[in-house]
Amino acid sequence: MRHTIVKTALFALITLLAGCAAPHRGPAYGHEGHFRQLLVNGPLVKECGYKVEDVRFSDDCQKALVFFSDPAETNALRELLLEHDGFRRYVGNLMPLPFLRPENPAAGRMHRIIVTLPAK
């Protein structure tokens, strides 16, 4: 009887400790400002004229939702979803606008965005 109680208590303790493990967080966790700075210094902003308006992260920092203002539109915001690929990179594609604007030919191309965070 005593061995059964000890085994049950030990099993309960192991279950409690295993169930309380910290969730796996993406590499941007705690480095959100640096992530935003990498976006601001990236080619989409420097070469195409987009402006980063807002960056939001999922609870586990595995995904980032980036809002860009379109240089050719006054009130248009473009959304870009970047996902962590397991290699300290967040990757996503900014799809082209439905029509090509002569004043901004880069707006008619798909842009592959990769934000790479440095090693720990």
Which residues are registered as beta bridge partners of 63? 83
- The pLDDT assigned to 103 comes to 58
Contact of 94 with 74, CB cutoff 8 Å:
no
CA separation for the pair 96, 108 (Å, rounded)? 5
Contact of 79 with 66, CB cutoff 8 Å:
yes
Domain residues for the domain of 87 are 25-116
Give 10-residue mean pLDDT values along the chain (120 residues).
68 62 80 94 86 94 92 77 95 74 59 88
Domain count, the chain: 1
Q: Is residue 20 part of a domain?
A: no
Q: Is residue 29 part of a domain?
A: yes
User: The sheet that has 89-94: what strands, in order across it?
Assistant: 51-57, 63-69, 77-84, 89-94, 111-116
Query: What's the pTM?
Result: 0.71
